[in-house]
Amino acid sequence: MTVFYIITPTENGCTGDDLPVDVEVLPALRAYDVTGGGSLCEGDVGVVVGLSDSQPNINYALHFNGTNTGTVVQGRGGPLAFPFPVNHAGEYTAVGTIVGKCETPMTGTVAVVVNTTPQGTGAIIGESDICEGTSASYAASGWTNADNYRWTLSPELSGASADAEQKEVMADVPGTATMIVEPHNPCGTGRPAQKSITINPKPTGTLVAPEKIYVGTPFIPTFETTAAIAQWQWTFGDGDVAQQSQPEKTYAQPGQYTLSVNVTDNRECTETTDTEIAVEEAPLLNVYSIKNVITANGDPENGFLFVENLDKFPANEVVLINRWGGEVFRQRHYANDWDARGSNGFLPAGNYVCIVRLTERGQTFSRTVTIVRD
């Protein structure tokens, strides 16, 4: 309201002229809570800032970081919102005014945070060369403001779906693979990074062992491959190991064993190959293992110098001597396939001495053999 006052001045009993004064009594300003604010993405329209309540006919000015923005709303009683959404990061307050005569700051402040898409130039950190059949860990690095990462793998690679900063992948197929990662947050996607990975093939090959292996008889397993092998690791199933490319092995007991070789090539790729082998008791050979008759007539019946079970001892040597002590036949690794022919045809009928040496067992024995000519 407006109040009318009359002021009468007096001094020493004398009264002066009355002075009329009109006084406008303004309403008391109440402080209300500033509301709104929050987070938004760069380029968004903005967020609303307002008051929890208002007084009628009171002007409320919006301030940004302590400075009046020039945006003013007249209260009508009840909550109000400033008419223009704000999209600048900072702190917002409000001040109530009555025609510039009274000012009361409203209670509290609200913050506006402006977020961007992930920024920066990122990279994928990890090995550029890996081996087929192995796994490797890679990390996304170099972006700011990224909440998660989306990975894309070419068909040569596989890995569990995950939006984490690190990715564990398996190299499935040899060749050149590609890995892409995109940084994400609620505001969008940042600039992707890409990495090329060479997947080296594992060293494949064939483990070769004799079909028959006997107790006390050494043998040499091999791993046939075209790869450039740098290291071998053999295990024989009985506790023995070896690191040579072609180790010599002798089993002491019969039984089933797993023969295994782990090879590493010059690119540090590895492969393990194994096979099951049966080790048998070695057959007995003695003087009576030598058949003592050869029919030197081209007939396959008794037509060869034959030693029973000689095939079990491939590192053998067989010698035939005539009755004058002359050597008429000598062969290492004999395979029971000589039919008594010399350089001039079949040897003469008569008695000869057959000497058999078994290198594996350090054994030598002999028997008289008769060549019969029909």
Go through the domains of the chain in sequence order and give each one's CATH number. Answer: 34-115 (2.60.40.10), 123-200 (2.60.40.1080), 206-280 (2.60.40.10), 287-372 (2.60.40)
Closest CA to 157 of 184, 182, 137, 183: 137
Q: What is the pLDDT of residues 264-306, one digit of tens each?
A: 999 999 999 999 999 988 777 889 899 999 998 777 778 999 9
Quote the tokens at residue 275. 């096979």
What number is the average pLDDT over the span 113-127? 95
Per the structure block, which two tokens stand in for 241? Answer: 């190991």
Residue 140, pLDDT score: 96
Which residue type is seen at 276? E
**301 and 288 Cβ atoms separated by less than 8 Å:** no
Tell me what pLDDT residue 88 has.
Answer: 94
Rounded distance between C-alpha atoms, residue 284 and residue 305, angstroms: 18
Token pair, residue 316, equals 């053998």
Confidence band (pLDDT; 50, 70, 90) for 46?
very high
Contact residues for 188 (Cβ-Cβ < 8 A; gap 6+): 41, 117
**DSSP-assigned letter for residue 95:** E
Band the pLDDT of 211: cuts 50, 70, 90. Answer: confident
**pLDDT-based confidence at 176, cuts 50/70/90?**
very high
Section 49-58 average pLDDT: 94
Over 80: is that where the pLDDT of 374 sits? no
Q: Do the Cβ atoms of 182 and 124 come closer than 8 Å?
A: no
Provide mean pLDDT across the span 85-106: 91
Rounded to whole angstroms, how far apart are CA atoms 134 and 36? 53
pLDDT bin (cut points 50, 70, 90) of residue 342 is confident
Give the torsion through C-alpha atoms of 250, 253, 259, 264, to 10 deg: -50
Between 158 and 25, the higher pLDDT residue = 158
Report yes or no: 46 and 31 within 8 Å, Cβ to Cβ.
no
- What lies within 8 Å, CB to CB, of 294 at 6+ separation is 302, 303, 304, 305, 339, 340, 369, 370, 371, 372
- What pLDDT is recorded for position 174? 95
How far apart (Å, rounded) are the C-alpha atoms in residues 89 and 292? 109
Each residue's pLDDT tens digit, 73-85? 999 999 999 998 9
The percentage of the chain sitting over the pLDDT mark of 70, rounded to a whole number, equals 100
Rg (CA), the chain: 51
As a whole-number percent, the residues of the chain with pLDDT over 90 amount to: 80
Give me the mean pLDDT over the 315-321 stretch: 94
Q: Is pTM, for the whole model, over 0.75?
A: no
